[in-house]
Structure 1
Amino acid sequence: MCDCERYSPVCSCNSKQKRAVCSNLKASLEPGTMTRTAAWLCGLLLGFVWVVPTVVMSTPAELCKSMNTLKASLNLINRRQYMKHNFPINYTIRVHYEEVFRVHNISRLRARVQGLEARELQNLWLLVNQQVLKRILRVLPERHPSHKYTSDLENLFRMVQQVFQQVFQQQQLGPQGEEREPPERIQEILDRMSDPDVKVWKWKSVRPKALLDNCYRTMHCLFQDCFQSNEDFCSILHWRKGNKRLPKQA
């Protein structure tokens, strides 16, 4: 058996043309050539993997920039200092039941509300946490060491809300140019939060740090394509204490 026949059963050495074809096949299967080809294919694949996240990213860049600024302000050191150490031990604040907005609330809404869009949950998150910050500010004297931080954070949320509205202004319009109504379940939550009749409110006592912890975690869940990570921030297991995968700033 000649060399070319070892590389392919369709090869034979019966003619010059076939010998030329088989010679090319043999060359393409030489170890050095295979290594170069494999390296080229791997490089192409890696390039594709790195390009894909920028293509499929759903949150606009200008909004992600604001979210990363907000993330920096909500870091763990700040949350501990301003929402825990500067308050009496076990100090709690009364908030609306709807203002205790956790990761599992997001999962529940996604499962129960048909056609729920990401921007509707993001808008709800912004409104809920602005209300939370207002409630914290109401119990803080102006000279309290946490007052300025909380006030600055509230202003930052207001700025993010403005960016959010500018980015999604066109998407909030219906086919006839009218403003689209949020899903019924989302509207119910917003209505209860703004209901002036305090008798119908459901209250819950929560520590200030726990409120901002909820804010930080749900932010990562709803805007996770703004934060470069392979972690599933919408998983409750991700945020459990003792989880070794937990980010240092969680």
Structure 2
Amino acid sequence: MQRGYVPLLYFVAILGLEAVMWKECRIIEVLRNKLVYQQRLQYMKHYFPINYTVNVQFEEVLRTANISKLRDQNVDELSLRYLWLNVNSQVLLKIWAVLLEKHPSWEYTQDLCHLFETLAEEYENYNQENVDSIIWDLVERILIADAGSSQKAMRPKALMDNCAKVMSMLYNKQCK
């Protein structure tokens, strides 16, 4: 009798996983539409003073090369997405913190923050046991924001360019 339920439970589990991936892909699609080059250029460069920079931790500068190195260390894709989400959530909060409410980029940045919060809800049950130790250590350093952590001055557009490139790298296969 119990043997008959195993295929059914497997089928339900697959459907549940597909539903979660579908919701995640919808959020990523909206993020892609928000992070198109023209909007990044307008909101993160043209509306800021020339050569304006935001101080971020060295670990918050997440580039495609960083992801490639982590992949070479056999870090799984879900952990890499978790890292990308946490890094860019913190970066967006730092950019948003320097903006006045009437700044032309304020609403755009707020929308991006809300999209990242929505995506974070999808990763809510993703705990330390599921995250590679390398990634967990990086995320902890970013969230704790050690005073001794080295800072780097980055332009907001460069940070969002990195965000968009890494997002494409991590989600292109899953979310076509």
The bucket for the TM-score relative to the shorter chain is: 0.7 to 0.9
Task: Output the amino acid matched with 2:102.
Answer: R
Where do 4+ consecutive residues of structure 1 move more than 4 Å? none
RMSD of the TM alignment (CA)? Answer: 1.9
Larger Cα-atom Rg: 1
Mind listing any 5+ residue stretches in structure 1 that lack a counterpart?
Answer: 1-56, 174-178, 229-250
> Cα offset for 1:66?
1.3
Task: Output the amino acid matched with 2:53.
Answer: T
CA distance 1:138–1:160, shift in 2 (3 Å): same
> What is residue 69 of structure 1 aligned with on the other side?
30
Question: Is 2:57 aligned against 1:108?
Answer: no
Question: Is 2:124 aligned against 1:184?
Answer: no
Q: How does 1:1-250 map to 2 (within 5 A)?
A: 60-112=21-73, 114=74, 116-165=75-124, 169=125, 172=126, 180-198=129-147, 200-228=148-176
Task: Output the amino acid matched with 1:63.
Answer: E
CA distance in 1, matches of 2:25, 2:139: 25
Mind listing any 5+ residue stretches in structure 2 that lack a counterpart?
Answer: 1-17
The structure richer in helix per residue is: 2
Identity of aligned residues (%): 39
> After superposition, what is the alpha-carbon deviation per residue over 1:197-248, rounded to whole angstroms, capped at 9, x for unaligned?
41x11101111000000000000000112454xxxxxxxxxxxxxxxxxxxx
CA distance 1:197–1:219, shift in 2 (3 Å): closer
Task: Output the amino acid matched with 1:189.
Answer: L
Question: Contact conserved, 2:76 with 2:132, CA < 8 A, in 1?
Answer: no
Query: What TM-score do the two structures reach when normalised by structure 1?
Result: 0.59
Partner of 1:67: helix, strand, or coil? helix
Greater RCO (CA < 8 Å, at least 6 residues apart): 2
